[in-house]
Structure 1
């Protein structure tokens, strides 16, 4: 704790006098650099955390945290496997699905699609993602499907139009294999928020997908959602052992391993690089304190002769430098949160001024810039800024405390 005398001197040194404008300028620059570096750390780490979290949520919303994949693409007697999965501790939900790449055409325009057969419950869960149409109209044998917003734009489909889905694996006849071409009415247009899915997915009831793909009562996959996505492998280990020889389990880490590993490496690298900005700012604090100590050498000597201890001088200069670093850190947090709040208008403004689309959903997967603020990361960034500022004060503070008043005042 500071004594009233130490607090008064530290406060005085935080506002250099008229003849010390250069010291004040360096101190102001130190605050500004700490502020900007902390703000950039908060912005980058929150955006990258949001990117990872948003992609995981959207992938999990479509394929769960893991899927059971049968050898050959057809899972027979899937009901018993589903019961076994649901009985596993840590499993929240599990449901069958069918997913198959096919072709779709409308008005002479053909595109590659993914036909997805879902249960009625899973289709109903898309209700908040629907842009046009009625998801409740997607019922078995209704002849209606739901398609992604990008797919609808690419082929010019609207609600009520009929698209033709082409399955090259048709029935075998004496004259060869006939290609199946089935027309489906567009009952709803949805937007998941993942560009590739919105561009290719066609969702229909499970029974209609089984009929289209000639799968009988079989399904292709069982999607699983667990309580702890990061430990999905350990949770599903008993199920995986029981399905050896029949099927394999692929979790979200394996399915999207390249993407999520790249995100993690980039996240760590960005934190490491941006941390150097805080380190550079701490050197500015060090230089401003060194100049302050040199400018106040006579004052320090006078205080020593009046009874000020070396410990008091050490506390005064450590407090001065740490206060500068803390002020920069706190203003950096405020600036970082402001940038996060106005991130989308800022991105749109930069794109308008430069004429370049910064956030291209076809490249970034997501249609908007996501953010996830991790309280522990914010605490770590705050601690980093304050600790580095504190360490930067030690040398000049020790230099001030070791000042010999006899040597300084000899020639005064």
Structure 2
């Protein structure tokens, strides 16, 4: 573009117009684009924060990758764990487990739970459950002592406290003359944990690995091996890689498979919010179209003079493209800066309004968090800014084309 096109286009953007309503529409378009961009950045950042928060809590309990044997039985787990760790350098730690469903009863209350047998010292290397103990310690699980650690919500539903005894009822029964009778085993509650995820706090119980093997008559076998890898986000690829190179009859799964419905729902919600809030930016760009159309009408005489001085129709088009694009760029840049600053400090802003209004937006009893988490992803910011700029540029094309088609003789007839 020639320098005079930039000069006139930027001058038209800054100049006060004879019709003040045109300036108002341009300012409204700029503010609308900025607000739309900022809102989109803040909403997506908060959703990213929630996803990171929930992902972190899941990974405190779930293993990154899990290798289980056929029929939920795996023999010689030490060799399997050693082989998997040696085969892929991203595998940092491993731990055996025994896992099965059972019923826990106490004082007339009965609750279903997932019973997991673990080795406390190795379990702490693949998951962070030990950091979430609210009573007792994970290493209180001693082989042969039949201690049990319950999720806090599960313990509350049973009405049991640390030191009291509960009965575990297993699906494997004993055959008697009266028929199949469920097996019972008494465990002593030695600890409670809280992850702040209901599915674990209300449905998971931990016992020593040897005790679980005796309870479910597994001998020296286990259900499988839990693996920790260097980057949890690479778990699907690592699980697939281990499965392809594996010579044993093993079934590999990862934490994203176990929670696939949740993450699929979050992704769908994020995409829909992105689409809905992008419409806000689109509405602002429609205002930009109307403002430019009015500006073209207001500048008919100027366009005619430029044409008579030798300006080509393409130069007129570029002048108004520059004028509209400037509004879009300023609005986008302001929105990006404002959105990023607000997204980074959204917790502080919400706390300020909570104190000002004397209310609590997020109750920990309901939402399990007391402040809004936020994670600003550069890719999201770049995509939002690019979309806003593209929409603003497209909005300038029709008014600029109309300006380029202006007939100088018709425009100066009544001047």
Partner of residue 115, structure 2: 115
Partner of residue 168, structure 2: 166
Task: Answer whether contact 2:152 2:193 (CA < 8 A) is retained.
Answer: yes
- 1:193-225 per-residue CA deviation (whole Å, 9 max, x = no partner) reads 322112222223322332343332221122234
Matches within 5 A, 1:12-411: 12-15=11-14, 17=16, 19-89=18-88, 91-92=90-91, 93-119=93-119, 120-123=121-124, 125-141=128-144, 143-158=146-161, 160-168=162-170, 169=172, 177=181, 179-187=183-191, 189-226=192-229, 227=231, 228-240=234-246, 242-244=247-249, 247-305=250-308, 310=313, 312-337=315-340, 338-339=342-343, 341-342=345-346, 346=350, 370-411=373-414
Matches within 5 A, 1:2-17: 3=3, 6=5, 9-15=8-14, 17=16
Q: CA deviation at 1:289?
A: 0.8
Q: CA deviation at 1:369?
A: 5.6
TM-score of the two chains, using structure 2 as the length reference: 0.81
Q: Structure 2: any 5+ residue segments left out of the alignment?
A: none
CA distance in 2: counterparts of 1:368 and 1:77, whole angstroms: 46
Task: Answer whether contact 2:293 2:399 (CA < 8 A) is retained.
Answer: yes
Q: Using a 3 Å threshold, how does the CA distance of structure 1 residues 154 and 65 change in structure 2: closer, same or farther?
A: same
Task: Answer whether contact 1:102 1:165 (CA < 8 A) is retained.
Answer: no
Task: Answer whether contact 2:118 2:206 (CA < 8 A) is retained.
Answer: yes
Q: Which moved more, 1:372-381 or 1:281-290?
A: 372-381
TM-score of the two chains, using structure 1 as the length reference: 0.81
Task: Answer whether contact 1:129 1:191 (CA < 8 A) is retained.
Answer: yes
Q: Secondary structure at the match of 1:63?
A: coil
CA distance in 2: counterparts of 1:319 and 1:152, whole angstroms: 67
Q: Secondary structure at the match of 2:19?
A: helix
Count of aligned residue pairs for this structure pair = 403
Q: Using a 3 Å threshold, how does the CA distance of structure 1 residues 10 and 129 change in structure 2: closer, same or farther?
A: farther
Q: Secondary structure at the match of 1:236?
A: helix
CA distance in 1: counterparts of 2:371 and 2:245, whole angstroms: 37
Q: CA deviation at 1:22?
A: 1.5
Q: Using a 3 Å threshold, how does the CA distance of structure 1 residues 132 and 380 change in structure 2: closer, same or farther?
A: same
CA distance in 2: counterparts of 1:368 and 1:248, whole angstroms: 39
Q: CA deviation at 1:18?
A: 6.3
Q: CA deviation at 1:239?
A: 4.8
CA distance in 2: counterparts of 1:239 and 1:177, whole angstroms: 43
Tell me how large the CA RMSD over aligned residues is.
Answer: 3.7
Q: Secondary structure at the match of 1:179?
A: strand
Q: Using a 3 Å threshold, how does the CA distance of structure 1 residues 78 and 142 change in structure 2: closer, same or farther?
A: same
CA distance in 1: counterparts of 2:352 and 2:212, whole angstroms: 41
- 1:234-259 per-residue CA deviation (whole Å, 9 max, x = no partner) reads 3123355x233xx4223345433433
CA distance in 1: counterparts of 2:10 and 2:105, whole angstroms: 75
- 1:111-132 per-residue CA deviation (whole Å, 9 max, x = no partner) reads 2222222222324733332334
Q: Secondary structure at the match of 2:104?
A: strand
Q: Using a 3 Å threshold, how does the CA distance of structure 1 residues 67 and 344 change in structure 2: closer, same or farther?
A: farther
Task: Answer whether contact 1:38 1:278 (CA < 8 A) is retained.
Answer: yes
